[in-house]
Structure 1
């Protein structure tokens, strides 16, 4: 792994990138100056062995995350049939007995978090008690699709294995630049003759691979997931419509373009799609279901939503007015409840920093699996107090907000934000991002390793500048990569 600071600069590269979807390239810094988010010229060069190491680490980490998710849901009393019966009219979850309650998830959401975690496995969810009479009504085998996610990894290519910094499991962005922009960059610059010029199968894994001579077409994540969903929900048409929702208050256009790209891949995979705003998701009281409302005063034109992708944090959604109704709607597949992509478990179990101490608790003593992890604990624990060099992170945080880095007892950088006001933090042993010399100064890259349908699919690299760049945030740059550039 090496950083090449003087790579080619394409003529008209800004316009090219804009035409491919990077409409949010100009980034405003706190001092009011504007910089280019996409770095044209520098790039990272990896050996094939390094790419294989990153791919292996990504697969191993995802497997560990699934085991950690199993552990977390089993700490909630509602994960058993009896627990769900006990909690039908009463509160049975508290921070002492329930992990979900400990990290601040409202109790009304617990059952659906657990169901969407288990519902692809009929044996697990419907047969805790083998007596059919002991099952609650509405416990029908179902399926909750998950399409994508992104690990943020420390890696320097100098012999140390990749280390997990966090898992962006529900709402990862930088998808456009990872899947599309850098792919076209590598094609246009032609820096390598390697069989795989870049670790980047993101688009193909979403859409599928066309048929080759003597071989059938290979379906991608959209078709595989929708086919499984139709097996569970047999009333769905062969090509069900998928809504794609984003938050319009995000002013840069990044959310819109990331959602629009995912929507385009679903359309390319053969499904009817529609792009909508979060504010257009409504509730039909009479029909007791989620609907798309075209606009104010157009409730009479509302349309039922069977499937929706939402680029909006579940931890916001379940705390907003009306959140309970949406979770209740999920409860009974036989009543045609809405299917949400990504499902709520992606935020509750995998997409928050409380995952990190669970992973270390489960695998910290396992020599082969712990090599991809850093020691992590809840901030109030005695183990956390023993660390003198650590990253302190809010359980519910994004884009490096409220992350503080401490080295030998001294704070080296912090990023104040609104995150962490609930007082829930974890600490993770400090592993400073690698340092490379750039034209602007010392830069620090983080590897964004993508998962599509649970499989390693490629990477994008974000880098920060100087000491503040040790925490990757919304001012960090995107830099492309190749495999074995021609010298």
Structure 2
């Protein structure tokens, strides 16, 4: 792993990137200077062995996360039939005995978090008809599609071991630049002649590919595979159900819109009808007890039922908003006519928050083969936290480095106050400062964004911060492309 400071600079690269979807590249910083998110010229170069190591780490970490999810679900009283039959509004979970309550997930969401976690398991949800006193009717196994996720990893090349910093399991961005923009950069610059050129199969894994003459079998891709499994569970769905794609319009840069639009384009390329909508256009049909798309206020008569929707919006915001209970009640429809959400709620509640890190350490910290990819982590109010003098303090529910504090030998070196963490829920993770490379603008610190598509390692994007503050990856950090064994 090396940083190449003076790579090729393409003529008209800004316009090229803009035409490919990177419409949110340029911004004006508070001091009046211009900021370019994409860095044209410098790039990172890896050996094939280093890529294989990152790919192995990514696959292993995901396996551990699935086991950690099982452990978390096992701490919730609603995991059992007895717990579920207490009724939708009953309160049986407490922070002392329920992991989900411990981290602030409202109890009305627990059952659907557990149900979507176990979807596809034929033995889990088939016992509702065994007891005539049960309040819920029989519910057969369902399917909850999950398309993508991104691990943020510490890595410093050969001789080092990748370390998990966090898992962006529900709403990861930087997808456009990781999938499309850096691939075109590679095509246009030709910096590598290695057969792999770049670790980047994100687009192909989303859309699928045909069998190749050299014997590689066809792959239907994440969209066709997931929707196919969904239709097995819900045969009443059309062969190609319409997929809505929703984003939050208050995000002013356009990053959310373009990430969602890109995902939508891959679903369309895979053969599905699609529609891009705003979060504010998701409505509720009281009479029909359905989630609907409302084109505009006053046009409720044109509302269209939503069977399948991808939402780039945090579940931890969604379930605290007015009307949140209704959406979860809709998911619980025993006839499986409720709306299917991509990513499902378990992605936020079990995997996409920082409380995953102490669970992983608890389960695998002593495992010499798998624990090597982890850093010691504890809830901030636990005894284990007191054993760390150098650590990163992170809010359980936080994004883009907000409210992350780095402490080295008892002294704060970086503080990034934000609106996150007001609930007082924090974890601490042993400090592992990002690698340092020399650059024109000073010392830079890269973090590896390792992508999963349908649970499989699929590629890498690199974000880079500058100076001491760059040890925390924020929304102002740059994106740099990468190559495999670039020609000198």
Q: CA deviation at 1:439?
A: 1.3
Q: Which residue of 2 aligns with 1:282?
A: 283
**8 Å contact kept, 1:242–1:273:** yes
2:169 aligned residue: 169
Contact 1:142 1:333 in 2 (8 A): no
Residue in 2 that maps onto 1:75? 75
Secondary structure in 1 matching 2:85: helix
Aligned-residue offset at 1:31 = 2.8
Please say if 1:23 is aligned against 2:23. yes
Matching of residues 234-253 of structure 1 within 5 Å: 234-253=235-254
Q: Distance in 2 between matches of 1:432 and 1:142?
A: 43
Secondary structure of the 1:82 match is helix
1:449 partner SS:
strand
Contact 1:150 1:449 in 2 (8 A): yes
- 2:124 counterpart SS class: helix
1:197 and 1:97 mapped to 2: Cα distance? 50
Q: Distance in 2 between matches of 1:460 and 1:368?
A: 25
Maintained 8 Å contact 2:105/2:349: yes
Residues 34-53 of structure 1 aligned to structure 2 (within 5 Å): 34-53=34-53
1:187-242 alpha-carbon deviations (Å, 9 max, x no partner): 00001110000000000000001243477632000000000000000000001000
Q: CA deviation at 1:339?
A: 0.2
> For 1:116-265, what aligned pairs fall within 5 Å after superposition?
116-127=116-127, 131=130, 136-213=136-213, 217-265=218-266
The corresponding residue for 2:395 is: 394
1:27 & 1:124 partners in 2: Cα distance? 50
Aligned length, in residue pairs? 486
Distance 2:353 2:133 in 1: 34
Kept in 1, the 8 Å contact 2:397–2:420? The answer is yes
For residues 93 and 390 of structure 2, what CA distance do their matches in structure 1 show?
34
Matches within 5 A, 1:355-394: 355-394=356-395
SS in 2 for 1:231: helix
1:126 deviates by: 2.9
Is 1:486 aligned with 2:487? Answer: yes
- 1:326 and 2:323 aligned: no
What are the Cα deviations for residues 166-185 of structure 1, in whole angstroms up to 9, with x where unaligned?
00000000000000000000
Task: With the length of structure 2 as denominator, give the TM-score of the two structures.
Answer: 0.97
Which SS does the other structure have where 1:141 is aligned?
coil
| 1:140 to partner: Cα distance | 2.1
Q: Normalization by structure 1: what TM-score?
A: 0.98
For residues 448 and 115 of structure 1, the distance between their equivalents in structure 2, rounded to whole angstroms, comes to 29
**Structure 1: unaligned runs, 5 residues or longer:** none
Partner of 2:477 in structure 1?
Answer: 476
Partner of residue 61, structure 1:
61
CA contact (8 A) 2:154 2:448 kept: yes
Match of 2:151, SS? strand
Preserved CA contact (<8 Å) 2:234 2:336: no
The answer as to whether partners of 2:155 and 2:163 remain within 8 angstroms in 1 is yes
- Report deviation, 1:383: 1.0
SS at match of 1:446: strand
Q: Does 1:417 align with 2:385?
A: no
Deviation (angstroms), 1:34: 1.9
Distance 1:106 1:130 in 2: 27
What is the Cα-based RMSD across aligned positions, in Å? 1.4
The CA deviation string for residues 134-170 of structure 1, in whole angstroms up to 9 with x for no partner, is 8741522100000000000000004111000000000
Deviations 1:93-136 (A, max 9, x none): 11011110000000000000000000211213335x99476874
- Maintained 8 Å contact 1:138/1:331: no
Contact in 1 for aligned 2:150/2:172 (Cα 8 Å)? yes
Distance 1:207 1:120 in 2: 22
Q: Distance in 2 between matches of 1:439 and 1:216?
A: 46
Question: What's the offset of the Cα at 1:386?
Answer: 1.5
Contact 2:247 2:260 (8 Å CA) reproduced: yes
Cα 1:94/1:183, change in 2 over 3 Å: same
| Greater CA drift, 364-373 or 81-90 | 81-90
SS at match of 1:126: coil
1-structure distance, mates of 2:422, 2:284: 30
Instruction: Give the Cα separation in 2 of the matches to 1:336 and 1:350.
Output: 26
Show the counterpart of 2:339.
338
Quote the Cα distance in structure 1 between the aligned partners of 2:171 and 2:284: 23
Distance 1:122 1:314 in 2: 26
Residue 372 of structure 1: how far off its partner (Å): 0.2
Structure 2 matches for 1:76-115, cutoff 5 A? 76-115=76-115
Q: Distance in 1 between matches of 2:81 and 2:482?
A: 49
Residue 408 (structure 1) aligns with: 409
Is 1:450 the equivalent of 2:439?
Answer: no
- For 2:263, what is the secondary structure of its paired residue? helix
- In the alignment, is the contact (CA less than 8 A) between 2:395 and 2:426 conserved in 1? yes
- Once residues 23 and 168 of structure 1 are traced to their aligned partners in structure 2, the CA distance between those partners, rounded to angstroms, is 23
Alignment partners' CA distance in 1, 2:38 and 2:156: 21
> Tell me, what secondary structure is at the counterpart of 1:57?
helix
